[in-house]
Amino acid sequence: MTKLTAHDLAKKQKEISVAEFFERNKHILGFGNATRALVTSIKEGVDNSLDSCEEVNILPEIYVEIKNHEDGECKIIVEDNGPGIVTKQIPHIFGRLLYGSRFHAIRQSRGQQGIGISAVILYGQLTTGKHAKIISKVQQDRPAVVMELAIDTNKNRAEVINRETVHWDKPSGTRVEISIIADYKRGKRFVYDYLQSTSIVNPHAQITYKDAEGEEYLFERTAEATPKKSCEIKPHPYGVELGTLIKMAKNTKARKLSTFLKTEFSSMGDRTTNAVCEKADLDRNANPKEMKREEFLALHRAFKKVKIMAPSTDCLSPISETLIRRSLKHETKEISPEFIITASRPASVYSGNPFQTEVGLVYGGTLPRDKPVQLMRFANRVPLLYQQGGCVITSAISSIDWRRYGFEQPSGKGMPSGPAIFLTHVSSTQIPFTSESKEAIADIPEIENEIKLAFRECARKVQHHIHKKVRRKKTREKFDLITKILPEIAKKSANMIDKPIPSLDAVITKIMDIVWIEDLIEYEKVSRQPVQTTIIPDKESDNTRSEGTITKSKIMVVNYKHNSQKFNLYALIPKDAVVGSVEPKPAKIANNYIKWNLGTIPPANKVDVSFELAGLEKGDFDENDLYVENINPAFVIGADKWEGD
């Protein structure tokens, strides 16, 4: 064998086009097999449609169709009523990988890579050799453009095959038609599941789906308002990488360090900026372009040493606990679950990217007890259907010891088994997906931690719930005994000795020796709204909140102790509910609770407490969460110790 040298090897070293790379590695984009390719293609189309509608504040109306030809070929059609795409951008958006509008903006959106839809076109031409067809209309009074295009993978550029204009009976919108090789028979179930899950977390979207057999499905809109639009923000100093900081300083227009910090980062006011400069021992007026690596290093370290306000969460658009609860309730009707619990975390930051976690837990009913819990994963309102094993959501859940919450879990690690559905939604300006196919979230410690904290809170609530139920049941038995048998004995005894029946209050309170709190929730329809309409609690639609359903909570506090009691009562309320009339007059109405300073309750007396909530649907709030203060909670049944806000 002749010995090769570095010069021989150099002849083979050359550039790889990004399109060529992904053509070869199509599984990275979610096209690993013909089943998944079908779902991925639809998903990329629908995600794009939802994003573009939301960007211009249009209520999305999306039409999805699959036409199944022979030999495993499918034509995928996704059409929307969004703003359309200007003609000269069509070849870039659809015919190039790594091109888009959402990559450089820091705010929550579904697409963020500029790969999705062009990847579908790449996959389509790779497997069928056919061109993609794009129809776009950007203005009511102008015709639509129809473009047929292919991707030149050596150059990562579009090849426009044909272009014409047509009349399109729509104010504006985009329609893509792409032929791909796909396994329709196996994939159709996943397409339905994906669209249904999408509809759950996007109640403002209407999705019509026509399958290859011609069957039409309608996923109805249940909310008439688009979600609060996520705003674009600047990077947050916590977690910004040193290299990024240096790069930003090189490119800034600011001539002073203080201006640079205040204009190019979020949460940097005058005071924080001064504090950072001081900690870093840097001149506020230094020119950022002339600073040295060591100075940036000092600045970078100073960021971590100064308390900087968390980034604004305007850039995020979480689903909300109420909506998660409602979706879960709706989706699990047939299971008749024992309870549904939700938890959400405040926004947090990883590598300068804000993110927020919301979780839900459905327990009991007819869910199987010996199977692993079902997992529903969402990221930026997009369902994640594959790669569950490689997702941080799975590893976060697996690291919690679920055995003490009534789940089976060998050695206290791994996915627990039990009658439950776990839902997780992570929203972020930048979801760290493990790959370009966006099917799993990478194991970023900050995110794993937040998911764990959210589920721990859920788990505590589960424990609390079970505990409360057991205690109440036990006391109830005692209570029934006393209130039925004691009066009977008293009556008989009185009769026997021919005396009036004595008051048993003192005896009962002596035996019971507790404060008993019982509650009831009722719903009342308000007639001004048509019955079918669903109102989504949303900060932007406050004016509609007082209509629809009124949730009425009635609480009865009975003092079964032998001396008078005087204490404070707290009732938790959903953050997005509007509080109506409250009886008696509360001491405080906070964002998420109502507080009463209850007057003195003599032994064997009771006090009625009630409040009304608007902005919720029937069943959104179906269980009171009550707490007491200034009384030993061991003597209270139906409420726990108030631990502070």
Q: Residue 1, interface with a copy of itself (CB under 8 A)? A: yes
The minimum distance between CB 208 and a copy of itself, in angstroms, equals 23
Stretch that binds a copy of itself, among 187-195, 252-260, 388-396, 493-501 (CB under 8 A): 388-396
Nearest CA to 479 among 513, 506, 520?
513
Strand order in the sheet with 549-560: 578-583, 606-616, 549-560, 514-525, 636-637
Interface residue with a copy of itself among 164, 193, 241, 281 (CB under 8 A) is 241
Q: CA torsion angle for 164, 169, 173, 174 (degrees, to 10)?
A: -40
Of 574, 300, 316, 283, whose CA–CA distance to 429 is shortest? 316
- Cα gap 529→535, rounded to integer Å: 10
Please say which residue, 44 or 625, places its beta carbon nearer to a copy of itself.
44
Applying CB under 8 A, among 207, 246, 508, 571 the residue interacting with a copy of itself is 246
Beta carbon nearer to a copy of itself, 32 or 406: 32
Contact letters for a copy of itself, residues 140-179 (x by CB under 8 A): -------------x------------------x-------
- Asked if 17 interacts with a copy of itself (CB under 8 A), we say yes
Task: Tell me if 6 contacts a copy of itself by CB under 8 A.
Answer: yes
| Residue 383 CB-density burial (10 A; 0-12 exposed, 13-18 middle, 19+ buried) | buried
CB-side neighbour CA atoms (13 Å) of 580: 16
Q: Max CA-CA distance within the chain?
A: 123
What are the phi and psi torsion angles at 628 (to 5°)? -125, 160
Member of 60, 84, 237, 638 binding a copy of itself (CB under 8 A): 84
User: Residues in contact with a copy of itself, total (CB under 8 A)?
Assistant: 96
Cis peptide leading into residue 584 (ω within 30°): yes
Determine if 18 is a binding residue for a copy of itself (CB under 8 A): yes
- Told to check if 387 binds a copy of itself by CB under 8 A, we report yes
Tokens, residue 590: 């906070």
Q: Is 600 in the site for a copy of itself (CB under 8 A)?
A: no
Cβ neighbours, 10 Å, residue 164: 10
Distance in angstroms (rounded) separating the CA atoms of residues 188 and 190: 5
Residues 91-130 that bind a copy of itself (CB under 8 A): 92-93, 96, 98-101, 103-105, 113-114, 125-130
297 vs 572, beta carbon nearer a copy of itself? 297
Binding flag, residue 499, a copy of itself (CB under 8 A): no
- 52 contributes a contact to a copy of itself by CB under 8 A: yes
Q: How far is the CB of 260 from a copy of itself (least distance, A)?
A: 16
Shortest gap between Cβ of 463 and a copy of itself (angstroms)? 24
Please report how close the Cβ of residue 106 comes to a copy of itself at its closest, in angstroms. 10
**Which class for 137: exposed (0-12), middle (13-18), buried (19 or more C-beta within 10 A)?**
buried
**Residues of this chain, 26-45, that bind a copy of itself according to CB under 8 A:** 27-28, 32-33
CA distance 565 to 568: 10
Min dist CB 599 to a copy of itself, Å, is: 49
CA atoms of 626 and 543, how far apart (whole Å): 29
- Alpha-carbon span 325 to 40, nearest angstrom: 28
Is 71 an interacting residue with respect to a copy of itself (CB under 8 A)? yes
User: Which residues 415-474 are close enough to bind a copy of itself by CB under 8 A?
Assistant: 417, 430, 432-436, 440, 442-445
> Is 497 near a copy of itself (CB under 8 A)?
no
Give the up-direction half-sphere exposure of residue 534: CA atoms within 13 A in the CB hemisphere: 16
Which candidate, 45, 69, 62, places its Cα nearest to that of 182? 69
Q: Which stretch binds a copy of itself (CB under 8 A): 206-214, 383-391, 549-557, 611-619?
A: 383-391
Least Å distance, CB 447 to a copy of itself, is 10
Q: Minimum Å distance from CB 306 to a copy of itself? A: 17
Closer residue to a copy of itself in complex, CB, 130/562: 130
> What is the nearest approach in angstroms of a copy of itself to the Cβ of residue 297?
7
Q: How far is Cα 260 from Cα 290, in angstroms, rounded to an integer?
A: 13
Please tell me whether residue 243 binds a copy of itself under the rule CB under 8 A: yes
Determine if 301 is a binding residue for a copy of itself (CB under 8 A). Answer: yes
56 part of the interface to a copy of itself, by CB under 8 A: yes
For strand 132-137 and strand 626-629, is the pairing parallel, antiparallel, or unpaired?
A: unpaired
